[in-house]
Amino acid sequence: MTDAAFEQLIADHRRELFAHCYRMLGSTADAEDALQDALLRAWSALPKFEGRSSVRSWLYRITTNACLRALERRPRDRILPIDYGPPADPHDPPAPPLVETVWVEPLADDQLAVDAAYEEREAVELAFIAALQHLPARQRAVLILRDVLGFSAREVAESLETTPVSIDSALQRAHKAVEQRMPERTQQATLQALGDETVRATVDRYREAWERADVDAIKAMLADDAVLAMPPHATWYRGRDAIGEFLRRRPFQAGRRERVVPIRANGQLAFAHYGGREDPLPGHAIGILTLRGAEIAELTYFRSPEVFARFGLPETI
């Protein structure tokens, strides 16, 4: 088979395989590497493919095992700052970024399949991705393959070279662990319940409050126990007043200006933040909102220049 023919064979599956790697690894960079490894192995193994399973099932088997190998080589699982240590005092300066790569990364919605279903978007929400990273690698694979992708226990057992009984047992344990870390309602359900008009109003209120440096307006949008985190900094804050104090002392300092561009990431409301004292304003964070009803429960700001490039966003505005 030629390179072009192989590319055509996998074209319909590439985006969903990438999303699978992202769920497994919690990182777009790691997902790209694992998918590249998997496709190279698929190309090499193609002459042995006998067609006893679908091409999709065969590709997922190879890709899942590429992710498991990547996890074996990785020194630690990825997390969010709330799992790293206690909340910080907003009167203190944020701790410096951690040198080691330990954080879950965001995923641009346009990296999903164009026609990604409601359930697929639920399965890349930040809370779900973060919860998955706390599972042992094989449990993680089982939960994703069974619940997200809909493979049977027999198919998953064949992929992982075990028995359907062990797959069912691993799935039960994975369910129990993930449910303890998940909110009562997904972001897809929350956004659908709010309706398009309310969601648009929330986006506008947030953007305008940031661009006016209006701390009180931001605080009015927050839940009492809201959390603000800023990977790669380990520093995070809990509570409306603590977050307000941090905003007042840091991004809303006198003389700084902000431009905020609405985007979508992880199936959630998200924004590209540009800020500084002189034009052009450099990008400094991709912010993802997690809503609880109409209130913001979590603000996660990914502060890394690489994130803007991965979202196809300009470095300055």
pLDDT, tens digit, 9 for 90 and up, residues 69-109 = 999 998 888 999 999 999 999 999 998 998 777 899 999 99
Which pLDDT value is given to residue 255? Answer: 93
CATH for the stretch 77-134+181-317? 3.10.450.50
Average pLDDT, the chain: 94
pLDDT beyond 90 at 313: yes
Report which residue type is found at 9. Answer: L
Cα separation, 66 vs 97, in Å, equals 29
pLDDT, tens digit, 9 for 90 and up, residues 180-200 = 999 999 999 999 999 999 999
Domain chopping of the chain, boundaries? 77-134+181-317
pLDDT beyond 80 at 42: yes
Cα 53 to chain centroid, rounded: 30
For the chain, what percentages of helix, strand and coil (3-state, to nearest 5) are there? 50, 15, 30
pLDDT, tens digit, 9 for 90 and up, residues 50-71 = 767 788 999 999 999 999 999 9
